[in-house]
Amino acid sequence: MSTYISAENLGHSFHDKWLFKNIAIGINRGRRVALVGINGAGKSTLLKLLAGYLKPTEGKVVQSRDLNMGYLEQDPGFKDAVTISDYIFHADNIQQQLIRKYEELLENDPDNARAIEKVMEELSDVDAWEYEYKIKTILGRLDIHHLNQSINTLSGGQKKRLALARLLIEDPDIYILDEPTNHLDIDTIEWLEKIIDRWLKNHPDGNARQVFPG
Q: Would you say residue 8 lies in a domain?
A: yes
Q: What is the pTM of this model?
A: 0.84
Structural domain boundaries, residue 179: 3-73+174-213
Give the integer Cα–Cα distance in Å for 188 and 119.
Answer: 31
- State whether 22 and 43 are in the same domain: yes
pLDDT value for 195: 80
Residues 65 and 23 in one domain: yes
CATH number for the domain that contains residue 184: 3.40.50.300
| Whether residues 49 and 96 fall in one domain | no
Q: Is residue 203 part of a domain?
A: yes
What's the CA gap between 164 and 45, in Å, rounded?
A: 19
Q: Are residues 68 and 46 in the same domain?
A: yes
91 lies in the same domain as 140: yes
Do 60 and 7 share a structural domain? yes
Instruction: Compute the distance between CA of residue 102 and CA of residue 132 in angstroms, rounded to an integer.
Output: 9
Shared domain for 93 and 68, answered yes or no, is no
Residues 17 and 47 in one domain: yes
Instruction: Please check whether residue 7 is in contact with residue 23, taking contact to mean a CB–CB distance below 8 angstroms.
Output: yes
If one counts the domains in the chain, the total is: 2
Residue 159 lies in a domain: no
Tell me the pLDDT tens digit for each residue of 12-27.
Answer: 998 889 999 999 999 8
Low pLDDT (below 70) residues in the chain: 1, 199-214
pLDDT tens figures, 48-76: 999 999 999 999 999 998 888 899 999 99
**Same domain membership, residue 130 and residue 101:** yes
DSSP for the chain reads: --EEEEEEEEEEEETTEEEEEEEEEEEETT--EEE---TTSSHHHHHHHHHTSS--SEEEEEE-TT--EEEE-SS---TT--BHHHHHS-TT-HHHHHHHHHHHHHHH-TT-HHHHHHHHHHHHHTT-HHHHHHHHHHHHHTT---TTSBGGGS-HHHHHHHHHHHHHHH--SEEEESSTTTT--HHHHHHHHHHHHHHHHH-TT----EEEE-
Spatial distance between the Cα atoms of 199 and 209, rounded to a whole number of angstroms: 10
The pLDDT value given to residue 183: 86
The predicted pLDDT at position 210 comes to 41
Residue 200 is predicted with a pLDDT of 62
Smallest Cα–Cα separation from 29: which of 204, 201, 170?
A: 204
pLDDT score of 202: 60
Task: Note whether 181 and 122 are same-domain residues.
Answer: no
Same domain, 44 and 10: yes
